[in-house]
Amino acid sequence: MRIGELAARAGTTTRTLRYYEARGLLPARRSGNGYRSYDEADLRLLRQIRTLQDFGFDLEETRPFVECLRAGHPEGDSCPASLAVYRRKLDELDALIGELAAVRAKVGEQLARAESARERLAAEAEVPGGPEPECELGGAGL
Amino acid sequence: MRIGELAARAGTTTRTLRYYEARGLLPARRSGNGYRSYDEADLRLLRQIRTLQDFGFDLEETRPFVECLRAGHPEGDSCPASLAVYRRKLDELDALIGELAAVRAKVGEQLARAESARERLAAEAEVPGGPEPECELGGAGL
DNA sequence: CTAATCCTTGACCCCGACGTCAAGGAAAGA
DNA sequence: TCTTTCCTTGACGTCGGGGTCAAGGATTAG
């Protein structure tokens, strides 16, 4: 099949396939007229790449999977190098999720602090003579 | 103070300050010789920007905070626009963390599946007639 | 035969937040 | 005065994963 059909069957674009080829990830045979020619095996390689890309893997990270398939293995993750990429990705994800959770907590704190400060100011503005706090929540302005 | 000193005091570079100025985020006065001139208030603005950047805010998202400070408020998040940015960021973070957690789960599944498949193959290779595992410590090469 | 698709390569564009280099002016210390 | 350091503007590079032309050749439908 030609590039347009492969792209369509994988739900991507011809530009993307040429890009993968330029990166050495998905080389193509050529038919007599110079057109790129692909087969079902290429479609499997491409689907492997796309799946990993959808997971957020870098293109380079998909390379071991592609090479594993090309080596004749039934799955892209049948090789140790692919498993290593999986593990590295899990570590990266854990680290990233942890960082984001920490940031989330800090931003949440900042929001709560800023909101309570605004409420205090609003209350003071409403009763200029003095809030006269019945409980211990009344704070003097910074 | 001049640009080099401000950059040093904020732990950033002169290039960054010129970039912020080009974006209209941190305009600078000029002294007679054409040098940029900053004061302590600029340092506070800059620190506000840097703090938010460290949190992963886009530069544009820091603008309400900077404008809030320039409007004379004691904190960059004393204004409603800043609080809105906080809230939007929390939503974004929650969405992102959720997506990453989902990907993490899927990758974990894939890894477990691939690993168990390899173990099966290894066991079959070791005892071609039938796995019959008496003890799991026997390791074949590769 | 001709028009409409498809294919080829090459080359520039995009985003964000700067890094880096170049050419030249200003200031400060010895 | 000389040298070093700081400042100025301008312009291009980076990174990833392609998007979007442009100019021209091949193929196919009518």
Hey, is the C-beta of B108 within 8 angstroms of any chain A C-beta? yes
Q: Bigger pLDDT: B135 or A67?
A: A67
Closest residue by C-alpha to C1' distance, nucleotide C16: B58
Total domains, chain A: 1
DSSP letter at B85? H
pLDDT at A121 over 80: no
Confidence at residue A117, expressed as pLDDT on a 0 to 100 scale:
82
The pLDDT tens digits of the residues spanning A24-66 come to 999 999 999 999 999 999 999 999 999 999 999 999 999 999 9
Instruction: Give A6: exposed, middle or buried? Use CB within 10 Å, 0-12, 13-18, 19+.
Output: buried
Closest CA to A104 of B89, B30, B122, B100: B89
Question: How distant is the Cα of A67 from the closest Cα of chain B, in angstroms?
Answer: 16
Q: Which two tokens stand for residue B68?
A: 């809030």
Residue pair A60/A76 in contact (Cβ under 8 Å)? The answer is: no
Please check whether residue B96 lies inside any domain of the structure: yes
Q: Which amino acid is at B131?
A: P
Tokens 């900042």 belong to A110
The pLDDT tens digits of the residues spanning B28-53 come to 999 999 999 999 999 999 999 999 99
Hey, is the C-beta of B53 within 8 angstroms of any chain A C-beta? no
Confidence at residue A134, expressed as pLDDT on a 0 to 100 scale:
43
Please check whether residue B135 lies inside any domain of the structure: no
Taking contacts as CB-CB distances below 8 angstroms, the residues of chain A near B82 are 114
For residue B112, how many other CB atoms are within 10 A of its CB?
Answer: 11
Please check whether residue A132 lies inside any domain of the structure: no
| Strand C nucleotides within 7 Å of a protein CB | 6-9, 16-20, 26-27
Q: Which two tokens stand for residue A71?
A: 């080596």
Taking contacts as CB-CB distances below 8 angstroms, the residues of chain A near B90 are 104, 107-108, 111
Q: Which two tokens stand for residue B128?
A: 């071609």
Least confident piece of the model among A72-86, B8-22, B67-81, B125-139: B125-139
Please check whether residue A94 lies inside any domain of the structure: yes
Please check whether residue A71 lies inside any domain of the structure: yes
